Structure 1
Amino acid sequence: MLVLLIVLIGVGSSILFYKRTARPPLEILLPTTIAVTTEVKVYVSGAVAHPGVYTMRQGDRVLDAIDAAGGTTENADLTRINLAAKVKDEQQIHVPKPGESLPQESSGQPQKININTASVEALDTLPDIGETKAQAIVNYRKEHGDFKRIEDLVEVAGIGSSTYENLKNLITVD
C-alpha cells in the first residue's frame, strides 16, 4: 500500500510539473501600422522666388509649397489664395501680384472652389451665391464640419436644388 501511495504521489507530481512547464508563455502581438507617405507634384508659379514643379507630401499645405519655391517676392498678393489649403497632385499654385487675374487650370476650365476651405469672398464669386449665402455656407461648415460630398450643399439654408445644379461643376470638397 505504501508503495502504491508513493507511486501515486510521484505520478501526481509529474503531471502537475508537466502542466506547469508545458505551456509556453502567452505572447501578445500588437498590430503595427506603417505610415505611407504619398508624394504629390505641384507647380508653383507667379510671385515666388523660384517658380517650378515641386515634390510635396500628401497633407502639406499651399504655404509649404510656396516655401519650397523660396517664398514670395515683394509684390505677392497672398490675400487671394488660401494658404491653409492642402496640396493635391498635379495642382498649380499661382501666387498673384496685386491686380493680376488668377490663371485657369490647364484644361481651360476655371479652377473649382473648395466649399470646405473657401472664404466668404471666394464663395461670393459663385453664380447664385451672394454674400449672405456665402456666409451661410461658412457658418454651416463651422457648425457641422466639412462637407463630405458636394451634394451636401443643399443642407445649407437658402440653397436649393436649382442653385446646386448651377454650382455642381464649379465646386469641390477635395
Structure 2
Amino acid sequence: MFGDEDDASGSQVPDRLRARWEELLDATGVGTRSLVAGVAVAGLVLGALWWLTRQSPPPVEATLPLVQATAPDTTTTTAGPVVVHVAGAVVAPGVHQLPPGSRVIDAVDASGGLTPDADAGAVNLAAEVVDGSQVYVPRVGEVPPPPPPGPDGAVDDGPVDLNAADATLLETLPGIGPATAAAIVEHRERHGPFTTVDGLLAVRGIGEAKLAALRDLVRV
C-alpha cells in the first residue's frame, strides 16, 4: 500500500514542477523553445570566445632597420710626382717630373746624363730628391752657386759665396743693403772674382767694422 502511494506521489512532483515552470515562462512571455534557443546561442558565443582566447597570438615580426653593406675602402692615397729643376753640367737641363722616392742620379738621368766636364764628385747622387728643389751639377773647377735662402731670408747651408751670390742673397747679410749689395756685384764683374774675404774692403761702403761683422758669414 505504501509503495503505491510513494509511486503516485513521486510521479506527481515532476509534473507539478514542470507545470509550474511553464506557468513562469508564460508569465514572462518567454517560450520554452525561445529559452532553449537563447541558451544555445549563448553557448555558441561562449564557445567561440573560448576558442579564440586559447589560440596562440600570431608571431610578431621584428622590423629591423635596413643596413646597406658597403665594401671597405681599399683605395690608398699615392704620392704625386716629384718636380725637380736640374741645372748645370747635364745634357738637357730643365724641369723634370720623377716618381716619388727618386734620387739625384734619377734626376740626372732624366736630364740626359752628365756632360764630359761635369764634376760628379761635387754632387751627392744618392740623395733623395725633394719636390720643388733644384739639383745643380757644377763643372770641373766651378764653384757651385749657394743654396737659396730660407723662409726667413737666412742662408740654410754655410757662409755666402761672394763670387756666386746675387744681390738678393747678399742683402740677407747683416749691414748689407741694396746699394752695398749692388756694389759687391759690380766690383766682382769689373775686377773678377774675390780671392779673399778681405777683398771686400775694396768695395764702396765696406770698412773694417763691417768686414769684421761679415768675416764669418761669407766665403770665396
TM-score class, shorter: 0.3 to 0.5
Could you say which structure has the greater relative contact order, defined with CA pairs below 8 angstroms and 6 or more residues apart? 1
Is the strand fraction higher in 1 or 2?
Answer: 1
Query: TM-score normalised to the size of structure 1?
Result: 0.44
Is the helix fraction higher in 1 or 2?
Answer: 2
Query: TM-score normalised to the size of structure 2?
Result: 0.36
Greater radius of gyration (CA): 2
